[in-house]
Amino acid sequence: MPFDTIKNILSVYAEAGLSTIEITMNTEGAAEMIEFIASNFSGKLNIGAGTVCTQAELDSALNAGAQFIVTPVVNQKIIEGCVKAGIPIFPGAFTPTEIYNAWDMGAYMVKVFPATQMGPSYIKEVKAPLNKIKLVPTGGITLDNIEAFKNAGADGYGLGSSLFDKKLIEQENWSGLKIHLQKFAEKFA
């Protein structure tokens, strides 16, 4: 995707009332994008790095200015490194044991992925005995099901393809994208 397109998306994203964005480290030029966002959207967007699996990726993300880290799995070294550095960490977990272990290692919140495999009832059932743990369902969260996850006890949401409407972006329909993003922002209010 051309960098000018990314700049437009970021501006529209912030204008729509959304404040937190994650760039996955398996995206080409991820560190440069994080650095750009940290430099140009300071105070408007919280920028995080996702899909952080190695110490090298963690170092690259933090050096670029990432304010939080998201992992796809429970990686004790990455979690402990973030906790030691005072960086919020959202490790990916699925089973109650993985979720608890991630929290016990110092996770700020735990990313439950893939959330739609089990649905909102899974979040509710996990939260029953583990009610102190903050859960962020990720994977398949949409405008149609976000309310059900919220009612089940979700503490945040990880959104991707449903948030960034490819058709609107391809058409460079920035006003349409803003309206689309505002619908999500309203759900978070």
Give residues with Cβ within 8 angstroms of 138, minimum separation 6. 92, 111, 112, 113, 114, 115, 157, 158, 159, 160
Q: What positions carry a catalytic annotation?
A: 22, 111
Query: 15 to each of 11, 76, 160, how far by Cα in Å?
Result: 6, 37, 18
Q: Residues 3-181: name the CATH superfamily.
A: Aldolase class I (3.20.20.70)
pLDDT tens digits along 103-148: 999 999 999 998 988 999 999 999 999 999 999 999 999 999 999 9
pLDDT tens digits along 68-108: 999 999 999 999 999 999 999 999 999 999 999 999 999 99
The residue ranges of every structural domain in the chain are 3-181
Radius of gyration of the chain (CA): 16
Report the predicted TM-score, pTM, of the whole model to 2 decimal places.
0.94
